[in-house]
Structure 1
Amino acid sequence: MNLDHIAETYVKLVLAVGEHDESYVDAYIGPAAWRDDAKTQAVSLNALLAQADALIAHSKSLPPAPQDQTERHVFLGLQIAAVRAHIAFLNGTVLPFDEESKVLYDAVSPTLTPADLDKTLAELDGLLPGEGDLNQRLSHYNKQFEIPRDKLDAVFSAAINEARARTRRYIALPDNESFSVEYVSGKVWSAYNWYKGNSHSLIEVNTDFPMFISRAIDLASHEAYPGHHVFNVLIENELVKEKGWIEYAIYPLYSPMSFLAEGSANYGIEVAFPHAERMAFEKEVLFPLAGIDPEKAERYYQIQAVLQRLSYAGNMVAKRYLDGEIDRETAINMLMTYSLSDAERSAQRIRFIEKLRSYVINYNLGQDVVQAYIEQRAGTQDQDKRWAVLTDLLRQPKSASMMLT
């Protein structure tokens, strides 16, 4: 076996696993015949485990790859190990939260306790109007920043168009790249990018809850530009079509690829919209489109910045809940206390955790690792350099440990 053969075998293995878990294959742009074969060949989980073990052994026995493919070999090895771990999970092997995240995403979230969040909660107590329960005060405050449903498409479309214009100044994209937006309900996520191939994405936005004005740019950048849509377009055109690295024709959701995808999509918000530029665009365009008073923007985003420091609370709750330390009701109450989400959104978050488990670390820890990687190489002030390093990272995927070395 050479590296290309291992890559092909890996793609077929992921497709076979996808027949046991319909959420596993997030995107596939490879040969249709391989997908058809996977649907017609019922391979047991035990047999897939054996295939994964053999593929890992073959990958480890390869001679050193050419210099321009060394990182490709390392990244593929981590992807294969993650496939094996997910097969084992489907077959009944449930790992502790940290062990699971390490083998699936090549990363472990920092240990956090409620006491670590108390200082941030105290700061918010001084920022939010009113007295009493902090969660209720935040919910009441946030109501004035909800985008009316009949204005959601106009606001979200304006945010996407601006994010696209900013991204295309720095990243060369195919002329035919495109996306469509649909509004859905009954999902555990707030938005999702479904990559369809040929440089096209479908972006679904969940309308179960009203969208806050801060989420318009966040989701436009995260799901589209320079986030998931751009990442997938670059992978398809530069890695699959130009280099023939067929392993990138498939995206297994529970894999190191997701750590980079979610982390770069989150940090890409800041790259595309530095704070001062974001505030100007929000005040001049998005707030008026949503019918929200632009004079309230500065205070609102001051509070949002403090709330961001609570992001790891979700990891803390997920770990305790999935490791059996707390029950579901306690987990929801902890999210209400330490993430300050209301009861309904906290329940939705628990459904997300139940479905995607340790995937939650990819958003905050992923963002922090990608941010550190980029800023070590480009600093924080030179936009040209930040865009260049971000683009190179999307074109040459690295796992968490690869970014930290």
Structure 2
Amino acid sequence: MKANHILPTITLLSVAFLHACSKAPEDIGVPVTDLNPLAEQYVGLVLALGEHDSSYVDAYYGPPAWAEAAKQSGKATADIVTMAQALQAQVRESTLSDPTLRLRQHYLDKQLTALISHANSLTNDSHAGFEQQAAELYDTVPPQRELATFEPILQQLEQLVPGEGSLTERVVAYRKQFVIPEDKLAAVFEQAIQECKARSAKYLTLPAHESFTLEFVKDKPWSGYNWFKGNAFSLIQINTERPIDISRAVDLGCHEGYPGHHAYNALLEQHLSNDLGWVEFQVYPLFSPQSLIAEGTANYGIEMAFPGEQKLQYESDVLYPLAGLDASKAAEYDRFLKLLAQLSYAGNETARLYLNKDIDAEQFVALQQQYLLQSEAEARQRLRFVEAYGAYVINYNWGKDLVKAYIEQATTEEIRWQRFKTLLTSPRLPSSLDW
């Protein structure tokens, strides 16, 4: 992990950070105009909380000395809460006139709200309900829908997928003909990611040295993951424990790579960390409002790179033949997938019910099978995800819809890409999207 050139006195800064964090709350409540010292304290608190939850720090590419200092500090989660509250008060009292700096101030404020919430959950050894998690961790209030409202979509799928057995059984059987053979996975994904990159590069200028490594893994609660390592480099992992259908190649290539997570992290590093010296962007806490923007842009990025019917055309012409699948069925499968996507918010509702303790694990699995049309194995994998990440599920669909509404205020493709880039290079969060 490489320290950035903007921090020449790492040892002195580490000492200063530890000294600042040791002050009593009443000693650090003076309004300031320079956010950098506060941002350094924020990074330290994120790293300290990461010592209590291995999933919390999604990426860190700042000074190694800061990570070591957090490890050695041994701060209890209750102490982290107290320190974060004091730091948040100071952030809020900062006097700033520049609009960009006010965006930065707002970012730090909301990220600290999320940090305090997550630290409290670890302190009390209990998780907040779905709505509280959404508001405190992700800076938003997602819509709520009754599961019964998804019945008309299920009825349409009943007509589209013939055969015997329940709709779920028929859907699971139907999708098997679109699974990428295991020996074709690497070739198909590498081709898809390169196409995602080529299309994104027409509108986004990434660091010349950016790169990634692709790995296939098993036994994970997620389907794909981008581990950003700093210096514009990512490790992209694809989970192969469940069969992967052909539509997921472009989806994951865009989402995890271009113009999704890899592009997002590389551009934040370049524009905010390196160019502006904003050290808070050297760390990425997973359970935070930043994740809604990250996941929302990654999912909407699929449509940015492949607008209209271009994804279907590319899959039919290139990926189906590469995977050895029947391209004559591509259009039919595309219609099926568009209907299936309309069930996405049912997954938010099953998570809501489970996190609010209105249903148990077995009921969750049954509802996933009934309303998301998943196999039992897929439903249990989703259960593992919700148990591990809670209300994080809203970031994929609700995050995408918020990003889409922001982007589609523009009337031309060029301006839409400009607005998309704005989200990849600025500290905007759900509550500051239209600032």
Corresponding residue for residue 133 of structure 2: 100
How far apart in 2 are the matches of 1:87 and 1:300? Answer: 44
How far apart in 2 are the matches of 1:52 and 1:65? Answer: 24
Q: Describe how 1:4-403 pairs up with structure 2 within 5 A.
A: 4-92=36-124, 93-376=126-409, 378-379=410-411, 382-403=412-433
Offset of residue 96 of structure 1: 1.8
Corresponding residue for residue 22 of structure 2: none
Contact 1:65 1:73 in 2 (8 A): no
How far apart in 2 are the matches of 1:65 and 1:199? Answer: 32
Offset of residue 124 of structure 1: 0.9
Offset of residue 131 of structure 1: 4.3
How far apart in 2 are the matches of 1:68 and 1:110? Answer: 30
**Structure 1 length-normalised TM:** 0.97
Q: Deviations over 1:266-296 (max 9, x none)?
A: 0000000113221221111100011111110
How far apart in 2 are the matches of 1:357 and 1:67? Answer: 34
Unmatched 5+ stretches in structure 1:
none
Give the letter aligned to residue 87 of structure 1.
A
How far apart in 2 are the matches of 1:275 and 1:61? Answer: 46
How far apart in 2 are the matches of 1:94 and 1:355? Answer: 11
Q: Deviations over 1:382-403 (max 9, x none)?
A: 3222211101111113211222
The alignment yields a C-alpha RMSD, in angstroms, of 1.1
Q: Deviations over 1:163-190 (max 9, x none)?
A: 0111111111111100000111110000
**Structure 2 length-normalised TM:** 0.91
Partner of 1:183, secondary structure, is strand
Identity, in percent, stands at 45
Partner of 1:312, secondary structure, is helix
Q: How many residues align?
A: 402
How far apart in 2 are the matches of 1:210 and 1:94? Answer: 32
How far apart in 2 are the matches of 1:375 and 1:258? Answer: 20
Contact 2:297 2:420 in 1 (8 A): yes
Q: Deviations over 1:90-138 (max 9, x none)?
A: 1115322101110100112211112110111111111112244110110
How far apart in 1 are the matches of 2:113 and 2:292? Answer: 15
Partner of 1:203, secondary structure, is strand
Partner of 1:110, secondary structure, is coil
Q: Deviations over 1:182-236 (max 9, x none)?
A: 1111100001000011110000111101110010000000000000000000011
How far apart in 1 are the matches of 2:243 and 2:127? Answer: 35
Contact 2:150 2:371 in 1 (8 A): yes
Partner of 1:325, secondary structure, is coil
How far apart in 2 are the matches of 1:73 and 1:193? Answer: 27
How far apart in 1 are the matches of 2:432 and 2:346? Answer: 26
Q: Deviations over 1:292-325 (max 9, x none)?
A: 1111000100010011110011110011011110
Give the letter aligned to residue 395 of structure 1.
T
Contact 1:109 1:315 in 2 (8 A): no
Give the letter aligned to residue 156 of structure 2.
E
Partner of 1:135, secondary structure, is helix
How far apart in 2 are the matches of 1:401 and 1:338? Answer: 31
Stretch of structure 1 that moved more, 249-258 or 53-62: 53-62
Contact 2:92 2:105 in 1 (8 A): no
Offset of residue 404 of structure 1: 5.8
Give the letter aligned to residue 413 of structure 2.
Q
How far apart in 2 are the matches of 1:80 and 1:214? Answer: 37
Contact 1:369 1:404 in 2 (8 A): no
How far apart in 2 are the matches of 1:102 and 1:54? Answer: 21
Unmatched 5+ stretches in structure 2:
1-31
Which 4+ runs in 1 deviate beyond 4 A?
A: none
How far apart in 1 are the matches of 2:377 and 2:164? Answer: 22
Give the letter aligned to residue 181 of structure 1.
L
